[in-house]
Structure 1
Amino acid sequence: MGPANVRLNPIGAAACFAFGLCMVIYIFGFPDWFQKEQKISLKELLSVSIALVERGGNRVRDIREGNTLAEKSKGKTKEGADEVLTEGDMESHRAIVYGFAKTFPGLQVISEESDIRPVSFKLIDNVNSKNDEVDKLIKNDMSVPFNKVTVWVDPLDATQEYKGYKTLEVIEGRADAYVHTTRIKKWDICAGNAILSAFHGKMTTLEGAFIDYSSRREVVNNNGLLATLFDHYKYLEQHIAKPMEHNKEKR
């Protein structure tokens, strides 16, 4: 019997290779060098944030003027204070969170409120990603990976005091420090923290650690906070750490 000739079908070979490649990608995912890292412009993010905050504020104002706040309690904090939810909360939440979702798909946004109501992005107005004042004040833009950015949202409701107000008192020199000794939600302090940092001030826990806003799983800062514009660690040591240690010794 003579030798058999084997001829490789190029179409079949290509199909087998493609199938094998698909299986490898399905099991192991795309290699890092194959994936293009998605980035976001910080100037555009700031401009969109300003536009969405204004949109959320307008929703709250309309509800206030229409006397349709529909206030109800979500429960109580560990300190015994009522946690209030209003229609203004939800409308502001929807305006801001869904606006971010439409403008920057995939951006991590953490809001005080949650909404299980389905939403159609067709019903959400587009957001202008350009702001003249931002362009005037910030000449150089910076783009960072999406996975390095987390946006925290505390919808406006005007039912209680604003935590950011206390930080502004420090920035404007009407208070030496803002001290909070109990647990506090990060969406209540992140905006004030950002503004304080821009003025070279500091906000830390009462243990002196900077507050981490990167985690979606931990939305509560359990270790109190100290916000100052000057002499932060000196103030922390003299007025916070030593009295706390003294109280522990007395127990």
Structure 2
Amino acid sequence: MAPMGLRLSPLGAAIFCLLGVGVVYHLYSGVLSTRVAAFRQGSRVDLRDLLALSVEAAVQGGREVRRTLIGGREGGGREVNSEEHDGSAGEGEVWTKAIPPDILKKVPEGKEVPAHMVTVWIDPLDATQEYTENMLQYVTTMVCVAVDGEPVIGVIHKPFTGDTAWAFVGQGHNVSRRSSYSLSPPTVIVSRSHAGRVRSFIQGAFGNATTITPAGGAGYKVLSLVAPLPHDTASTSDQADVYIHVTYIKKWDICAGAALVKALGGRMTTLKGEDIDYRGNEGNSGGLVASVGLDHKALLERLPAWDPENH
């Protein structure tokens, strides 16, 4: 669960759910909210601009996540509102709206959509529990842009490696599929918090030889489905074929991953195969199944009905 969720829908109505990480609140408010007024001046917004802004927000948020942890270890324990200056509103105030070269190379043209159709979901600290336990490989910061309820832009940043994965559905991405995936049996990645509960459910679908990998953070789990990022260890233990979640989950936890998966030709759905609408309420209660290089329909057909009373 995210320590703070920021939803802008449509691009001017911000909903803040702050659960104690003030540094990230200020950082994301500075990077994204200071641009809202400019976006609202027109009736349309350029999604390439939002992609660049989302990458900037995720990277800056990651710096603060890392810096806060280091400050706590050193006994400082003080809140920092921006990378450079204490007490400021965040570096986002001076964002130049420049498009990074790697985005320009892969997304050479902008794409405008009506502003009222846009929803922005932010998870400034995914894998909160693991963060407090110093299991930093699971920690990510995420930003997602949905258009008319569909995930279109996803950014997942790993603060403790410096890797940033991004995707703009139908336009470009800096991540790729792995060379192979398996369904017989697959490696299934699940949440650490309920790995035992879903074991029989997964083995019933794919057999007792199925490898079940418990992990923290929805962002980490999605990245386990794609080719390793530049600073990943590339260990086979970090790779999975399927991501399954069986309980209620916030949309800011999964929207960015849904966009990455979709951009690579994969799907993220509920356990029943339904598409998830990334507008409206903040949560998804239908569980989820995500895959990139598999026949998603065939995957869903092998899943038994989830019964929380018997698992």
Mapping for residues 102-117 of structure 1, pairs under 5 Å: none
2:81 matched to 1:57?
Answer: no
CA contact (8 A) 1:68 1:87 kept: no
CA contact (8 A) 2:126 2:218 kept: no
Secondary structure at the aligned position of 2:45 is classed as: strand
Question: What are the ranges of 5 or more consecutive residues in structure 2 without an aligned counterpart?
Answer: 1-40, 131-215, 228-235
TM-score normalised according to structure 2 size: 0.47
Q: For 1:133 and 1:194, locate their aligned partners in 2 and report how far apart those are by CA, in whole Å.
A: 18
Size of the aligned set, in residue pairs, is: 166
2:256 matched to 1:211?
Answer: no
CA contact (8 A) 1:181 1:224 kept: yes
Q: For 2:72 and 2:89, locate their aligned partners in 1 and report how far apart those are by CA, in whole Å.
A: 28
2:153 matched to 1:185?
Answer: no
Q: For 1:210 and 1:69, locate their aligned partners in 2 and report how far apart those are by CA, in whole Å.
A: 45
* CA deviation vs aligned residue, 1:108-132 (integer Å, no higher than 9, x gap): xxxxxxxxxxx99799632131222
Change (3 A) 1:177 1:69: farther
Superposed displacement of residue 61, structure 1: 2.0
Q: For 2:78 and 2:252, locate their aligned partners in 1 and report how far apart those are by CA, in whole Å.
A: 19
Superposed displacement of residue 178, structure 1: 0.8
Q: For 1:190 and 1:136, locate their aligned partners in 2 and report how far apart those are by CA, in whole Å.
A: 24
* CA deviation vs aligned residue, 1:174-199 (integer Å, no higher than 9, x gap): 32211111111111111111111110
2:111 maps to which of 138, 142, 161: 142
Superposed displacement of residue 220, structure 1: 0.7
* CA deviation vs aligned residue, 1:41-87 (integer Å, no higher than 9, x gap): 111111111112122122222211211799xxxxxxxxxxxxxxx98
Secondary structure at the aligned position of 1:144 is classed as: strand
Mapping for residues 124-135 of structure 1, pairs under 5 Å: 125-130=93-98, 131-135=100-104
Superposed displacement of residue 156, structure 1: 2.3
Higher helix residue share: 1
CA contact (8 A) 1:205 1:225 kept: yes
Q: For 2:55 and 2:262, locate their aligned partners in 1 and report how far apart those are by CA, in whole Å.
A: 19
Q: For 1:61 and 1:47, locate their aligned partners in 2 and report how far apart those are by CA, in whole Å.
A: 21
CA contact (8 A) 1:52 1:127 kept: no
2:267 maps to which of 198, 202, 213: 202
Change (3 A) 1:204 1:37: same
Superposed displacement of residue 37, structure 1: 5.9
1:234 maps to which of 293, 298, 302: 298
Mapping for residues 44-123 of structure 1, pairs under 5 Å: 44-67=49-72
TM-score normalised according to structure 1 size: 0.57
Superposed displacement of residue 163, structure 1: 0.8
* CA deviation vs aligned residue, 1:222-248 (integer Å, no higher than 9, x gap): 00000012210111012x1xx218x69
Question: What are the ranges of 5 or more consecutive residues in structure 1 without an aligned counterpart?
Answer: 1-35, 71-85, 96-118
Higher strand residue share: 2
Change (3 A) 1:147 1:67: same
- Return the index of the structure with the highest Cα Rg: 1
CA contact (8 A) 1:183 1:220 kept: yes
